[in-house]
């Protein structure tokens, strides 16, 4: 069911909550893995590298997927034959230009142009969704393969060894419980 104009803000908010739960969870786990894999004195540099890598990945993802969506929009837009050439050319540039071009047309022609533009825009978004699903599946397979090769599990009853310098200068029961089994 597509959201209506009355519940669109609630649908958008629900979508953002779901996205941020996933991004927040994996973002913090990824940063912890990066920072935890270096000596404590290099933790700041590792955190900075992790942050910059994430920002670069976000920027490249938005640029690449946005370009893919725009290309699909342009390739699949089929304005009705009755649409004036100037309006059809403008609509082919972007959805925003299609809305602007439709504003200068009679109501029936504007509706037909907007229906074609909405269909092309939906095709672009669907293509982006499929590309994201493929990227996610490939990433999951690579991750599972790499984790299995590393043997990342600890047999039950054994305590993983801690880095000796990780707890230097620590006092109290928390430090003792981390460095001694049982």
* 145-158 per-position pLDDT tens digit: 988 877 655 455 55
Q: Is residue 71 part of a domain?
A: yes
Domain extent for 119:
63-148
Q: Is residue 131 part of a domain?
A: yes
Kindly give the interhelix angle for 43-76 and 107-150, rounded to the nearest 10 degrees: 140
Write phi, then psi, for 106 (nearest 5 degrees): -60, 155
Q: Are 104 and 134 in contact (CB under 8 A)?
A: no
Q: For 48-104, what is each residue's pLDDT tens digit?
A: 998 899 899 999 999 999 999 999 999 999 999 999 999 999 999 999 999 999 999
The predicted structure's pLDDT at residue 175: 43
d(CA 143, CA 105): 52
Q: Is residue 90 part of a domain?
A: yes
- Report how far apart, in Å, the C-alpha atoms of 126 and of each of 10, 46, 92, 93 are: 22, 36, 18, 19
Per the structure, the count of domains in the chain is 1
Q: 149: how many CB neighbours lie within 10 A of its CB?
A: 8
For a pLDDT cut of 90, what percent of the chain falls above it? 53
- State the pLDDT confidence band at 125, using cuts at 50, 70 and 90: very high
Three-state secondary structure call for residue 172 = coil
Q: Is residue 32 part of a domain?
A: no
Tokens representing residue 180 in the block: 């001694």
The predicted structure's pLDDT at residue 3: 47
Query: How many residues in total does the chain contain?
Result: 182
The predicted structure's pLDDT at residue 159: 52
- Report how far apart, in Å, the C-alpha atoms of 50 and of each of 27, 32, 42, 138, 141 are: 9, 10, 12, 21, 22
Q: Is residue 106 part of a domain?
A: yes
Q: Is residue 82 part of a domain?
A: yes
Residue 15 exposed, middle or buried by CB count within 10 Å (0-12, 13-18, 19+): exposed
Q: Are 124 and 69 in contact (CB under 8 A)?
A: yes
Q: Is residue 93 part of a domain?
A: yes
Q: Is residue 87 part of a domain?
A: yes
């Amino acid at each position: 069911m597509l959201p209506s104009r009355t519940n669109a803000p609630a649908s958008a908010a629900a979508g953002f909550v779901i996205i941020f739960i996933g991004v927040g969870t994996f973002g913090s786990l990824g940063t912890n893995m990066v920072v935890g894999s270096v000596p404590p004195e290099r933790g700041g540099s590792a955190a900075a590298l992790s942050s910059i890598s994430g920002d670069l990945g976000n920027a490249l993802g938005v640029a690449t997927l946005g370009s893919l969506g725009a290309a699909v929009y342009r390739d699949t837009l089929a304005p009705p034959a009755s649409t004036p050439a100037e309006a059809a050319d403008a609509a082919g540039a972007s959805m925003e230009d299609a809305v602007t071009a439709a504003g200068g047309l009679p109501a029936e022609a504007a509706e037909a142009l907007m229906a074609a533009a909405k269909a092309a825009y939906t095709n672009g978004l669907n293509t982006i969704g499929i590309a994201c699903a493929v990227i996610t599946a490939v990433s999951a397979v690579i991750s599972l393969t790499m984790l299995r090769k590393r043997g990342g599990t600890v047999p039950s009853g054994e305590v993983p060894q801690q880095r000796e310098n990780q707890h230097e200068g620590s006092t109290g029961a928390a430090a003792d419980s981390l460095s001694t089994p049982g």
